[in-house]
Amino acid sequence: MARRRRHAEHQNHEAWAIPYGDLITLLLAFFVVMYSMSSINEGKYRILSDSLVAAFRGTPMTPTPVQISPAERGQGSQAEVSGLDRSRLMTRRDRAPPVIAQKPDQPPPDPAALARMAGEVRLALQGLIDTGGVRVRETEMWLEIEINADILFPSGVAQAMPEALPILDRLATILAPFPNAIRVEGHTDDRPISTAVFPSNWELSAARAGHVVQRFTRAGVNPLHMEIIGLGEYHPVADNATVEGRDRNRRVTIVVLQERGSVTGRRRQDPESVADPVPPAK
């Protein structure tokens, strides 16, 4: 049997082209990546950076809006850039600190205002002043109008009697044009009270002061200028051992301060220490 002749193996002289082509492809990809990194779109990058920072509750790093030229918009998707721009602007608007309006400097208090108010009050309530139902005291720092509670309220009640409403309305008409701060203080005698409405003299005194403030508000006095103080039985001006002393202690005191505007956080010295002194309660 004839023996098959073995063919000689053919040697491939172009095998080098395969790794060479792969190398060229990798180099091309490398240079493309390097070029894209070196020519980054600054406008898009700042927009994206602000959006990411705002998404994580940060403060945008750019203090002013980024202006993107039409050429820059053409380098990417216009809808994508517009969406990022709207997101950045909405986030910046929502996170902007509130603008606090600066109040203009208020004019200094009018030193003659308290004197004018005191004169008008005395003229309007002269009859009650003559009978001792109303007392008007004034200093350089405040005007005090003291009204016996028996003139305004029935016993144990915080709603003014119908005949007392004109008194409060006249006072409100006098006080309304002035910007001065007003404190309305309620006082009682030391006889305890315990009802379903008022468990103690604290509640009764505060409710009476509140009723006066409500009446003043309806008559045009600025509610921002007023505050309510319920002092109960603990600031007497007369001896509770007598009927006359208890009548004197049941009172509503309207204190008009020299200061303008809100009375929040302001206190005054007790007028009894500087005017119209009376014996302390025993």
DSSP string, 93-109: HHTSPPPPPPPPPPPPP
Residue 118: inside a domain, yes or no?
A: yes
Residue 259 is predicted with a pLDDT of 83
Let me know if residue 213 belongs to a domain: yes
Q: Does residue 171 sit in the same domain as residue 61?
A: no
For 142, the token pair is 């405040």
Does 8 reside within a domain? Answer: no
12 occurs within a structural domain: no
Domain boundary among 94, 126, 143: 94
Long-range contacts of 111-118 (CB under 8 A, 24+ apart): 111/140, 111/258, 113/178, 113/180, 113/258, 114/138, 114/140, 114/142, 114/143, 114/180, 114/256, 114/258, 117/143, 117/174, 117/175, 117/178, 117/180, 117/256, 118/143
- φ, ψ for residue 120 (rounded to 5)? -70, -40
Q: Which residue has the tokens 């003139």?
A: 151
Question: Is 171 found in the same domain as 55?
Answer: no
Are residue 66 and residue 140 in the same domain, yes or no? no
C-alpha to C-alpha distance for 30 and 49, rounded to whole angstroms: 26
Number of structural domains (the chain) is 2
Residues paired with 148 in a beta bridge? 251
- By residue range, what is the domain housing residue 67? 18-94
Provide the pLDDT for residue 250. Answer: 97
The secondary structure of residue 159, as a DSSP letter, is S
Label residue 247 exposed, middle or buried (CB < 10 Å: 0-12, 13-18, 19+).
middle
Provide the residue type at 176 as one letter: A
Residues 52 and 118 in one domain: no
Give me 1's structure tokens.
Answer: 């049997």
The DSSP secondary structure of 221-252, one letter per residue, reads --GGGEEEEE-TTSS-SS-TTSHHHHHHHSEE
Residue 146 lies in a domain: yes
Q: What is the pLDDT of residues 198-242, one digit of tens each?
A: 999 999 999 999 999 999 999 999 999 999 999 999 999 999 999
Instruction: Please check whether residues 126 and 258 belong to one and the same domain.
Output: yes
Q: What is residue 69's predicted lDDT score, i.e. its pLDDT?
A: 53
Which of 94, 125, 143 is a domain's end point? 94
Beta bridge partners of 254: 145, 184
Query: What pLDDT is stored for residue 274 in this prediction?
Result: 36
How far is Cα 151 from Cα 160, in angstroms, rounded to an integer? Answer: 9
In a shared domain, residues 149 and 82 = no
pTM: 0.57
Does 162 lie in the same domain as 49?
Answer: no
* Strands of 251-260's sheet in order across: 134-138, 142-148, 251-260, 180-187, 226-230
117 and 86 within one domain: no
At which of 66, 94, 122 does a domain end?
Answer: 94
CATH number at residue 125: 3.30.1330.60
Specify if 7 maps to a domain.
no
Q: Which residues of the chain have pLDDT under 70?
A: 1-13, 36-46, 48-49, 51-109, 261-282
Q: Are residues 122 and 87 in the same domain?
A: no
Is the residue at 59 inside a domain? yes
Q: Indicate if 159 and 245 belong to the same structural domain.
A: yes
Q: Are residues 206 and 175 in the same domain?
A: yes
Q: Kindly state whether residues 65 and 202 are assigned to the same domain.
A: no
Q: Give the count of beta carbons closer than 10 Å to the beta carbon of residue 179.
A: 15
* CA distance linking residue 150 with residue 199, whole number of Å: 20
Q: What is the pLDDT of residue 28?
A: 82
